[in-house]
Amino acid sequence: MRLVLTGATGFLGRRLAGELAQGGHETHLLSRNPRGQAGSSRWDPMAGPPDPALFADCGAVVHLAGEPVAQRWTSAAKERILASRVRGTLNLVEGLRRCETRPEVLVCASAVGYFGSRGDEVLTERSEPGTGFLAEVCRQWEAAADTALELGIRVVKVRFGVVLGGEGGALAKMLPAFRLGLGGPLADGRQWMSWIHAADAARLLVWSAEERSARGAVNAVSPHPIQNKDFTLALGRVLRRPAVIPMPGFALGLLFGEMSEVLTGSQRVLPEAAASGGFQFRHVEVEEALRALLY
């Protein structure tokens, strides 16, 4: 299959590009800064629709591009986060609208932030959206992706939990403190953390493109979510370091502002759609996943 991939230079995009290459897929990368890479073209999602010629003979589009969420949420940053996802996705769909022959499927990233903070409630793809900034971003983001449905394109919206990978993402940011024995739970540590190994995340994106029964929302999370306090203990055991120094909620607020809700929000999410569709997770327990990543 020939795929077009946006956001290919990001942490997950790099993983996915490797997975696609191993699977024998031909991949064309769209990036704001292609840097002369073979098989890549320049496209700024905020500048307008991509050239329809980029999608010639393309079977699937995987759309991962978006402003990083992990930054202090000033008013300007929140506008960039929202616009990069909504306007960027609408521009992508407009490019697909102009194609003479359209791809079969659009796989668009989303996030479990869609659910807001829900305490101990068990959440599946059938659960209603929550409240808060990230929930609203995800709701509008997914609605933008769904505009491709009117073009006869199958749409899959992959709601990622915390993607664990040693080379980037949340885990890479945690490792320095934990390796010094300074890690610990965030706030009271009781918030649920829905996570996925980066390799499973990349495989699930490929599955979403290839599996014709996959459509609508797909939760990209391990079948076994874990509370933050238990995650930190597991990471401490893997690193053979204590992990008992808590980071109080007020300190997180001082450091990160409103963005701290990403760290203290609770989403107990299950991958119902992937499991019922036959996707096989290779990493379902967090301690095993961490060992596979770090050793």
Q: Where are the beta strands (DSSP E) in 56-175?
A: 60-63, 105-111, 122-123, 154-160, 162-164
User: Tokens at residue 48, please?
Assistant: 């307008």
Question: Residue 173: CB partners within 8 Å, gap ≥ 6?
Answer: 70
- What's the chain's length in residues? 295
Q: Residue 150's pLDDT is what?
A: 98
Give the CA-trace dihedral at 227, 228, 230, 232, to 10 degrees.
160
Q: Residue 255's pLDDT is what?
A: 83
**Residue of 170, 176, 207, 185 lying closest to 281 (CA atoms):** 207
Q: Residue 9's pLDDT is what?
A: 85
Helix, strand or coil for residue 189?
A: coil
Contact 195, 134 (CB under 8 A): no
Q: Residue 85's pLDDT is what?
A: 97
**Residue of 134, 167, 145 lying closest to 9 (CA atoms):** 167
Q: Residue 36's pLDDT is what?
A: 62
Q: Which amino acid does the sequence have at 213?
A: S
Question: Residue 185: CB partners within 8 Å, gap ≥ 6?
Answer: 228, 229, 232, 243, 246, 247
Question: For tokens 């965030």, what's the residue?
Answer: 186
Q: Which domains does the chain have, with CATH numbers?
A: 2-294 (3.40.50.720)
Around 220, how many Cα atoms within 13 Å sit in the side-chain half-sphere?
31
**Residue of 100, 134, 101 lying closest to 259 (CA atoms):** 134
Maximal C-alpha separation, the chain? 59
- Give pLDDT tens digits along the chain (295 positions): 899 999 988 899 999 998 998 888 999 999 888 776 678 899 999 999 999 999 999 999 999 999 999 999 999 999 999 999 999 999 999 999 999 999 999 999 999 999 999 999 999 999 999 999 999 999 999 999 999 999 999 999 999 999 999 888 999 999 999 999 999 999 999 999 999 999 999 999 999 999 999 999 999 999 999 999 999 999 999 999 999 999 999 888 988 899 998 999 999 999 999 999 999 999 999 999 999 999 9
Helical packing angle, 169-179 and 228-239, nearest 10°: 60
Beta bridge partners of 269: 123
Beta bridge partners of 226: 193
Q: pLDDT tens across 69-113, in order? A: 999 999 999 999 999 999 999 999 999 999 999 999 999 999 999
CA 72 – CA 45 distance, rounded (Å) = 22
